[in-house]
Chain A
């Protein structure tokens, strides 16, 4: 498992009442919006386990909505998030889901829709406000949001990773983690790359020229990290 920062133990600064059910939930919403990469118009949120059972008392719905609006966990407007979303005609629907006994008790699946793209992610709020995204568009992933994460939706072709890492290496970027999963050989794949720095625009421009890449996005470091 990945390492802890002192600021995951002390922190984040946040609006109450629960680090897992409020701050973590807010970050899950925030990550979903960032991954979509455009103005969202609609979201369907599915709550599992303790999120579904005690979400009301913990402000989980308000927090997820605040995150989907792009607000940080310490934004004191949190309580008013559902009202603001409604004002913006951003339709957010909540329902319950059973993700099975193996799923973390504080899990949510979020489908978020923009004018152009749609994203579907499953994330767990693992305690103290930290989250892990474990599934994205049906690909297994492991994203903590503690580092900047590059997301590449691409075709599974030979030499793909070598080309990508060569581009990163040419800019002397230090890769902290890299993970690829694919559906079938030669079919759709998703690669996630965490680096210690921020991705310079030149790298993004070079990557965009790769024909195998159908979509590219950067998930910034989660707010309050």
Chain B
């Protein structure tokens, strides 16, 4: 029997029919569709998770400013604060989680190696949430990397129903997707049912709708970095709300539909063109790079 799904309704039906988690169903779908046997699928995701962690640890070491001057050293700053006596009421755990997400984006801005989840600009949220969870629950890498399949399952539904690219759907398509994926993964790791995990995804995604992609200077740094840092907390919140038994009024598939609609109608100036929003504030404009010195006079070959 096929384990393929394109909607949350279909995924939920398959999970209930087979008495499996979203993670397990997504693993089965991957094994069925691809060329890799199960062990290799699992091993590949474990490598990816370890790659994510490496990008966190590398970022925490960064002290120098990035090429654009927009970032650098912030994850260290946040980490130090989380360990200090003046830690906020958020507590050391969540402050550290913010630091982890910032660290991935700092690695990214420094042309370091990261794992796009689902994109590079939103690559901090899943690693930050999962690593924080792993430390708090004292779990091993393989258990946590399995939860990345929960995230992937949710991500696939967004991919079919909407999109992930900021240029096509705005920041909501990147950060919103990452939040939905992380919320579902955390929810399932904490014992949530597939329905609760999808509900967590719905709650996380609906509260990012309308988020525009307005990178200052066209760099994936501001506001991208802080979006990752702060929206990781949002994902934890959505998972907790769902586990409490609160239902999202609008189910996940319909939230994805709303994401697509809002993304479609969002003006081009707010979709990774740096022609609006924070990018064109007086401060934002100061970081605008010169347009490249393109070669001129290149003609496309005539059609044969």
Q: What is A's interface to B at a CB cutoff of 8 Å?
A: 1, 3-20, 22-23, 44, 46, 49-50, 53-59, 61, 74, 76, 78-79, 93-97, 104-106, 109, 111, 118, 120, 125-129, 138, 188, 196-197
Cβ-defined contact, A54 with B272, below 8 A: yes
Q: Known contacts being A56-B292, A105-B168, is A111 close to B159, with CB within 8 Å?
A: no
Tell me, rounded to whole Å, the shortest Cβ–Cβ distance linking B278 to chain A.
13
Cβ-defined contact, B119 with A57, below 8 A: no
CB contacts (< 8 Å) of B113 on chain A: these are: 13-15, 74, 76
CB contacts (< 8 Å) of A44 on chain B: these are: 298, 300
Question: Using an 8 Å CB-CB cutoff, how does the interface string of B272-304 with A read, 1 for contact, 0 for none?
Answer: 111100000000000001111011101011011
Give how many A-B residue pairs fall within 8 Å (CB-CB).
Answer: 199
Q: Known contacts being A8-B159, A56-B289, A78-B111, is A14 close to B116, with CB within 8 Å?
A: yes
CB contacts (< 8 Å) of A3 on chain B: these are: 4, 33
Cβ-defined contact, A10 with B111, below 8 A: no
Bound Cα distance A44, B35 (Å): 35
CB contacts (< 8 Å) of A109 on chain B: these are: 300
Give 14 pairs: A residue, B residue, CB < 8 Å, sorted on A.
A3-B33, A4-B155, A8-B159, A11-B115, A12-B116, A14-B114, A23-B120, A44-B298, A49-B273, A61-B292, A79-B111, A94-B295, A95-B296, A128-B164
Bound Cα distance A49, B26 (Å): 34
Tell me, rounded to whole Å, the shortest Cβ–Cβ distance linking A152 to chain B.
17
CB contacts (< 8 Å) of B148 on chain A: these are: 10
Q: Known contacts being A54-B218, A58-B218, A111-B301, is A10 close to B291, with CB within 8 Å?
A: no
Q: Known contacts being A17-B219, A127-B163, A128-B164, is A10 close to B294, with CB within 8 Å?
A: no
Determine the residue in chain B with the shortest Cβ distance to A79. B111
Tell me, rounded to whole Å, the shortest Cβ–Cβ distance linking B288 to chain A.
9
Within 8 A of A (CB), among B218-265: 218-221
Cβ-defined contact, A54 with B215, below 8 A: yes
Residue B102 interfacial (CB < 8 Å): no
Bound Cα distance A18, B122 (Å): 9
Determine the residue in chain A with the shortest Cβ distance to B122. A19
CB contacts (< 8 Å) of A22 on chain B: these are: 120
Residue B149 interfacial (CB < 8 Å): yes
Given A9-B152, A76-B113, 16 more contacts at CB 8 Å? A4-B160, A5-B30, A6-B29, A9-B151, A12-B115, A13-B113, A13-B116, A14-B116, A17-B120, A19-B123, A56-B289, A59-B111, A96-B294, A120-B300, A127-B163, A128-B119
Partner of B51, one of A13, A57, A95: A13
Bound Cα distance A93, B292 (Å): 11
Q: Known contacts being A20-B119, A109-B300, is A6 close to B165, with CB within 8 Å?
A: no
Cβ-defined contact, B218 with A57, below 8 A: yes
